[in-house]
Amino acid sequence: MSSNSARECYVYITLPGKTVAVTAGKFVLDETSSGDPLGRFVYGQSYLKNPDAVPIDPMELKLAATTYNTVQLKGVFGALRDAGPDYWGRRVIEKYAGKPTMGEMDYLLESPDDRAGALGFGLNNVPPAPLRKFNKTLDLAKLQELADALIKDEIPSDPAAPQVQELLLLGTSMGGARPKAVVQDDEGLWMAKFNQPDDRWNHARVEYAMLRLARQCGINVSESRVETVGGKDVLLVKRFDRAKTAEGYTRARMISGLTVLRSDETKDARTRWSYLILVEELRRIVAEPEKDARELFRRICFNALSSNLDDHPRNHALIARNLDWALSPAYDLTPSPVVSLDHRDLALVCGDQGRFANAKNILSQHARFLLQKDEAERIIEDTREQVGHWYDTVRACGVTATDAETVRGAFLYPGFSYSAS
Ligand SMILES: Nc1ncnc2c1ncn2[C@@H]1O[C@H](COP(=O)(O)OP(=O)(O)OP(=O)(O)O)[C@@H](O)[C@H]1O
Ligand SMILES: [Mg+2]
């Protein structure tokens, strides 16, 4: 039974290899008798009969004729939360809708169809036609202007104002806090990340360089490039959850590391922010556990050696382009040139000494990553050697000498190599 305040929506999914969505089930956001959010999800009968049906979450929402309940995460199942907007997208939606306080269901329903992963939401029991019109990369200058105006709070509050209407062009339901939009060119869909006026360095260039450096370390990353519009650099990262076909876009299912860890951003839930838990869970889900566990280990080494300390669980994801799940390509790599030379912490626990970004600590739990000690040591050494070339890489990627000096302190910080505990 639902209470009066219950709200519901249909959940759509684009099945593997398909370009048109079908209805997977219904999500109801209700309240418990004590007034706390209670989420319910039930798969539709016809979906369960569909021989191609796949679960929308490989851990919690298995294909079954049952009602799933959750009181975690404000009642929003992790896989659904991952398909909703985050800080940036919520900011756009709030401005567009003219309401500063919106509920979780509003964010799902108001966010556009450029969301990460294969899910969609709506009030009709049949999904809308797939979105065919995305922004063109040619529109980047316009999008950059809009993002700037939103950040500087220069957009009027009147929902009828033309600039407010245009915000939908930004209209991203992709997660994250930095300004971004989704654009399309002949090759497919890209996520455009804009610089912000108060950035200490050219983020677009530096992130581009970090993706290149990660690739040099043997890490799987998406294709990316920098476009300069109106004198400003914009980073374009190819969407790894979309593939262009003659019929439209196929979509990969996607769940964030936060969902894999069954966690959220609250203080209590942060006790589960751990690479050691992440690798254990990942090994249960992915088709190639050894490959992905090794890859995750390499990413931890890279993050520690380049002080990518904002490696929080939403900056990791699993994707399923077909039936099989795998670690997604790495994304959102940013150096943090923090002051401390002795001790830096990753966002997740990575060994016996907690979050300490240190070789000995990272090595301490090598077996969980299905690595022999000598293999793990070799990965650490290889990564250290490659990250040692950071300066040449960032300069080759067009980072200025001044910006390179600003981020210098992020690379190979001394505490990484300390061996005393
Ligand atoms: N290449 C990609 N293809 C598909 N989805 C992506 C890609 N890169 C990032 N994403 C998704 O978009 C979200 C936002 O991207 P990203 O983390 O780069 O943004 P951000 O604003 O810098 O994030 P943060 O708030 O962590 O700084 C990610 O959490 C991930 O779900
Ligand atoms: Mg991010």
Mean pLDDT, residues 308-331 taken together: 97
What are 57's two structure tokens?
């979450």
Q: Which residues pair with 8 in a beta bridge?
A: 28
Per the listing, tokens 């966002």 go with 347
Q: Look at residue 177 and tell me whether its pLDDT is greater than 60.
A: yes
Which numbered atom of ligand 1 lies nearest the CA of 82?
Answer: 31
Residue 57 CA to ligand 1 centre (angstroms): 19
Tokens at 341, concatenated: 């030379």
Which of 20-34, 131-145, 352-366 bottoms out in mean pLDDT, i.e. has the lowest? 131-145
| Ligand 1 atom 15 nearest Cα | 176
106-130: average pLDDT: 85
Q: Which of 19-28, 61-70, 130-139, 237-246 has the lowest mean pLDDT?
A: 130-139
User: Burial of 217 by CB count in 10 Å (0-12 exposed, 13-18 middle, 19+ buried)?
Assistant: buried
Token duo for residue 225: 């490039």
* More confidently predicted of 30 and 93: 30
Atom of ligand 1 lying closest to residue 237 CA: 1
Contacts of 356 (CB under 8 A, 6+ apart): 343, 344, 345, 346, 350, 415
Give the Cα separation of 160 and 169 in Å (integer). 15
Confidence at residue 139, expressed as pLDDT on a 0 to 100 scale: 84
Say what the pLDDT of residue 353 is: 97
Q: Check whether 1 has a pLDDT greater than 50.
A: no
Q: How far is CA 363 from CA 25, 215, 309, 359, 369, in A?
A: 44, 22, 18, 6, 10
Q: Is 375 exposed, middle or buried (0-12, 13-18, 19+ CB in 10 A)?
A: middle
CB under 6 Å to ligand 1: residues? 88, 116, 174-178, 191, 222, 237-241, 310, 314-315, 317, 331-332
Ligand 1 atom 20: residue of nearest CA: 176
Looking at residue 213, what is its pLDDT?
98
Question: Mean pLDDT throughout 367-390?
Answer: 98
Residues 179-229: pLDDT tens digits? 888 898 888 999 999 999 889 999 999 999 999 999 999 999 999 999 999
Q: Which residue puts its alpha carbon closest to atom 8 of ligand 1?
A: 331
Q: Can you give the pLDDT at residue 138? A: 66
Nearest-CA neighbor of 179 among 157, 159, 204, 200?
204
Judge contact between 148 and 199, C-beta under 8 A: no
Q: Which residues surround ligand 2, an ion (CB under 5 A)?
A: 176, 315, 332
In the structure, what pLDDT confidence band is assigned to residue 330 with cuts at 50, 70 and 90? very high
* pLDDT tier at 409, thresholds 50, 70, 90: very high
Share of the chain above pLDDT 90, in %: 70
Task: Say how far apart CA 417 and CA 399 lie, in whole Å.
Answer: 27
**Residue 285 and residue 318 in contact, taking contact as beta carbons nearer than 8 Å:** yes
Residue 55 pLDDT exceeds 70: yes
> For residues 242 and 187, what is the distance between their CA atoms, to the nearest angstrom?
11
Q: Is pLDDT above 90 for 162?
A: no
What is the model's pLDDT at position 172? Answer: 67
In the block, residue with structure tokens 């990965």: 379
Average pLDDT in the 291-309 region? 98
How confident is the prediction for the chain on average, in pLDDT?
A: 91
Distances in Å between the Cα of 193 and the Cα atoms of 26, 88, 107, 155, 237 are 33, 11, 21, 20, 8
Q: Give one DSSP letter per residue of 21-43, joined into a string.
A: -EEEEEEEEEE-TTS-EEEEEEE
Ligand 1 atom nearest residue 256's Cα: 31
Closest CA to 118 of 167, 48, 53: 53
Q: Rounded to whole angstroms, how far apart are CA atoms 16 and 190?
A: 20
